[in-house]
């Protein structure tokens, strides 16, 4: 009898034999590769940050399989998600949840296990850990406690999106998720407007239409971009065009799945205009209202009033925050 795991058909008896190995052979363990059992040595004590597939379960390194099979414990965001990966490769290592909601409580317990000499593998639901997840606090705490921390590189949705977007990659900024509320999102976009680098953003399917509309308004509708959806999965899709075009296309349909958005850097002349506008705004805001400052700077630079207004709001908020911190 066999059971199907993704594209591989794994004999149940063989899988069960691997699950029984830890009890039968002490610290020995292993994994299945193309249906064949492979022994994995006990992983060295310490914290091992292991990259896992972002969608296609075949996108995992041999080193990662060996580490997951040889670890004493795997700390993961969602045990149900990671269990699917382990089942695909016949790995029986125990799982424990470690995510933003339980990190404060779980972190001391993991550190205690490290102190006792355990080998712990840290994974996220998909891709390279510490990218938009709470893993960095565990890594920092482990390092401060003197434990070994080792990185096992692999799949990353950020780098995968950059590799297929067709946009400059010599300099890029990963900005994670923009704020969900429109006012805060527009302020964040204004902060990114003059960044001389390609931008990489995560976004959820329900919010992508609103985000694209705000990006087109805040960065300029002619800025080139690529929307990368469901990377490495069956329904992978790459949409390319300027922000205004992508915003219109997405508004006319319902997208699903995981989305990475890549946005080209501003042209050199646009960077100069935005930088000049910021300097003028700072001076104008010292002597007049936001409304009057926006009118003055928009007329002086020729930039769209809407863009100048968003930047003025961001500068005003920065000034308020600085005053609050000083008080």
pLDDT digits (tens, 9 = 90+) for 12-60: 444 444 444 443 344 458 999 999 999 999 999 999 999 999 999 999 9
- Residue 13: the pLDDT is 44
Label residue 201 left, alpha or beta by phi (over 0 means left) and psi (-120 to 50 means alpha): beta
pLDDT, averaged across the chain: 87
Cα 281 from Cα 179, distance rounded (Å): 24
Rounded distance between C-alpha atoms, residue 117 and residue 122, angstroms: 16
In 3D, which of 72, 10, 1, 6 has the Cα closest to residue 38?
A: 10
Q: Is the pLDDT of residue 273 over 70?
A: no
pLDDT at 11: 45
Predicted local distance difference test score (pLDDT) of residue 314: 79
Taking each helix axis from N to C end, the angle separating 290-301 and 268-285, rounded to the nearest 10 degrees, works out to: 140
Residue 257 structure tokens: 């799945």
Cα–Cα distance for residue pair 107/19, rounded to 1 Å: 27
Q: What pLDDT score was predicted for residue 259?
A: 98
Q: How large is the C-alpha radius of gyration of the chain?
A: 24
**Most confident listed range (17-21, 239-243, 298-302):** 239-243
* pLDDT reported for residue 210: 97
Residue 226 gets which letter from DSSP? Answer: E
The two beta strands, 149-152 and 46-50, are: parallel
Distance, in Å, from the CA atom of 20 to the CA atom of 22, rounded to the nearest integer, reads 6
Q: Are 305 and 294 in contact (CB under 8 A)?
A: yes
The segment with the largest mean pLDDT, out of 13-17, 59-63, 183-187, 292-296, is 59-63
Greater pLDDT, 12 or 167: 167
d(CA 237, CA 245): 16
Tokens 């920065």 belong to 318
Residue 100: enclosing H or E segment and its boundaries?
none
Q: How confident is the model at residue 3 (pLDDT cuts 50, 70, 90)?
A: very low
Give the residue-averaged pLDDT of 116-143. 93
3-state secondary structure of 130: coil
* 315-323 contacts, C-beta under 8 A, 24 or more apart: 315/278, 315/281, 315/282, 315/285, 316/285, 316/290, 317/187, 319/285
- Is 157's pLDDT higher than 90? yes
pLDDT number for residue 320: 67
For residue 327, the model assigns a pLDDT of 55
Helix or strand (DSSP H, E) at 160: helix 157-165
φ and ψ of 4, to 5 deg:
-90, 130
Report pLDDT for 323: 58
Question: 127: which DSSP letter?
Answer: B
Distances (CA, A) of 14 to 68, 89, 91, 230: 18, 11, 11, 32
Range of lowest pLDDT (39-53, 83-97, 156-170, 302-316): 302-316
Q: How much is the pLDDT for 206?
A: 96
Q: What mean pLDDT do residues 200-207 have?
A: 97
Q: How high is the pLDDT of residue 2?
A: 35
| pLDDT surpassing 80 at residue 146 | yes
70-74, 128-132, 189-193, 212-216, range with the lowest pLDDT: 128-132
What is the three-class DSSP state of 263? strand
């Amino acid at each position: 009898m066999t059971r199907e795991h993704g594209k591989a058909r794994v004999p149940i008896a063989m899988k069960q034999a691997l699950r029984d190995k830890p009890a039968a052979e002490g610290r020995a363990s292993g994994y299945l590769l193309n249906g064949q059992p492979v022994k994995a040595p006990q992983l060295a004590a310490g914290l091992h940050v292991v990259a896992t597939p972002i969608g296609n379960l075949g996108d995992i390194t041999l080193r990662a399989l060996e580490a997951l099979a040889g670890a004493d414990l795997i700390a993961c965001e969602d045990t149900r998600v990671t269990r699917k990966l382990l089942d695909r490769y016949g790995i029986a290592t125990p799982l424990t949840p470690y995510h933003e909601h339980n990190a404060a409580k779980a972190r001391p317990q993991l550190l205690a296990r490290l102190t006792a000499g355990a080998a712990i593998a840290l994974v996220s639901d998909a891709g390279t850990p510490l990218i938009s997840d709470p893993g960095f606090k565990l890594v920092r705490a482990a390092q401060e406690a003197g434990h070994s921390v080792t990185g096992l590189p692999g799949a990353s949705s950020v780098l995968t999106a950059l590799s297929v977007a067709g946009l400059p990659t010599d300099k890029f900024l990963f900005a994670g998720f923009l704020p969900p509320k429109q006012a805060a999102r527009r302020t964040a976009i204004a902060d990114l407007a003059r960044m001389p680098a390609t931008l990489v953003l995560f976004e959820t399917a329900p919010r992508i239409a609103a985000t694209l509309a705000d990006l087109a308004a805040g960065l300029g509708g002619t800025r080139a971009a690529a929307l990368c959806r469901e990377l490495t999965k069956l329904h992978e899709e790459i949409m390319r065009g300027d922000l205004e075009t992508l915003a219109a296309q997405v508004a006319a349909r319902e997208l699903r799945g995981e989305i990475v958005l890549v946005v080209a850097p501003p042209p050199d002349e646009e960077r100069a205009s935005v930088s000049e506008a910021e300097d003028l705004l700072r001076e104008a805001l010292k002597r007049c209202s936001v409304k009057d400052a926006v009118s003055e700077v928009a007329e002086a630079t020729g930039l769209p009033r809407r863009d100048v207004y968003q930047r003025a709001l961001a500068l005003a908020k920065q000034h308020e925050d600085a005053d609050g911190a000083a008080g």
